[in-house]
Amino acid sequence: MSTITIVGAGMMGSAMSVPARANGHTVRLVGTPLDREIIEHAKATGNHLTLKRRLPDGISYYQIEEVDEALTGADLLICGVSSFGLDWFIQNIIPKIPESLPVLSVTKGMMNTGAGGLISYPEVFEASTEKKISFNAIGGPCTSYELADRDMTAVTFCGRDISTLRRIKSLFETDFYHISLSTDVRGVECAVAMKNAYALGVCLAIGLSYRREGREFEHYNSQAALFGQAVHEMSKLIELCGGRPDNIMLGAGDLYVTVFGGRTRKIGILLGSGMSFDEAMKKLAGITLESVVIAGRTATAVRELIAAGRVTEADFPLLLHVDAIIRKGEPVNIPWRDFERETII
């Protein structure tokens, strides 16, 4: 059996303990400075405060001051921080990681490089250190609470080296957690990161339905139309990032689960219901909204590409409308006619 250390006791990092413990591995869960209450509560009760699930028996819990002890003798390190903890992880944890210890990140996101470029977080990690650490990541449709419930889940682990990926896969694959492998790091990670921006766009239709009906009643034609437009635009973005086009399968799957639950759904509904962006952000104060960050970064890259003449505004009407809502405070006014197209073969 192996020893797996998880740094970051948020919902997804903690949920990764479920397949790990199902396979009999030793799990050490380390809280960041923001996770103190989560760690103390889990130590005392075995339950996770925000995941609202009982964690598997046999986990050892550590506060951040004990991270060196938790890393000693580990066979794998899971980066379980949110994208807002990226810099903290780079500054405080990567210097402690020996080159022999591979990293598997659950953190989804992209960074701008200028001139329309977007890179994945594993690439950001690689650029932050001179160490030759193997940085790998997880992509694909998976919510933390359903992984903790052992619902059938299919994900993709990505990294530079296929043999390392195969070894990591062997630690986690179970009869409920199914893992594909890919060395297309940027393609996988950008596909599953950008879905946050587009899920916000799809969820606008839910809020618009609530507003029109005067109650919480959903219509699905409008959601499906926005979902299709989102997949259309995401396909183009994956190609522009330099990823393989078949990664759209991961982006579309992750888009689906994000639309049906979570924080991005909440802000999309509030905006569609008629709240301004500022009002919605005040109402959701204290909630991590990675969708807003990703929408901004993706739209920035697209605007740079437009300026360079590589794409046009007509290529990304949904993304640019979401960006206008966030950046300029514009009201929701879905550009439905801009989604229409002619296909002649």
- The domains found in the chain, sorted by start residue, are 3-183 (3.40.50.720), 192-339 (1.10.1040.10)
- Predicted local distance difference test score (pLDDT) of residue 285: 83
DSSP H helix total and E strand total for the chain = 15, 10
Q: Give the integer Cα–Cα distance in Å for 339 and 309.
A: 21
In this prediction, the residues of the chain whose per-residue pLDDT falls under 50 are none
pLDDT of residue 172: 98
Strand order in the sheet with 26-30: 60-62, 26-30, 3-7, 76-79, 103-105, 135-139, 153-158, 177-182
Residue in 51, 57, 43 with CA at minimum distance from that of residue 80: 51
State the pLDDT at residue 193: 94
Q: How many residues does the chain have?
A: 345
d(CA 52, CA 205): 29
pTM: 0.94
Look at residue 184 in the predicted model and tell me its pLDDT.
98
* Residue 28 CB partners (closer than 8 Å, separation 6+): 3, 4, 5, 6, 59, 60, 61, 62, 70, 74
Predicted pLDDT at 290: 86
Residue 137 backbone dihedrals phi, psi, to 5 degrees: -150, 165
CA distance 121 to 129: 13
**93 token code pair:** 């944890």
Helix then strand then coil, in percent of the chain rounded to 5, is 55, 15, 30
Q: How far apart are CA 223 and CA 203, in angstroms?
A: 7
- Cβ atoms within 10 Å, residue 318: 24
DSSP strand E in 71-152: where? 76-79, 103-105, 110-114, 117-120, 135-139
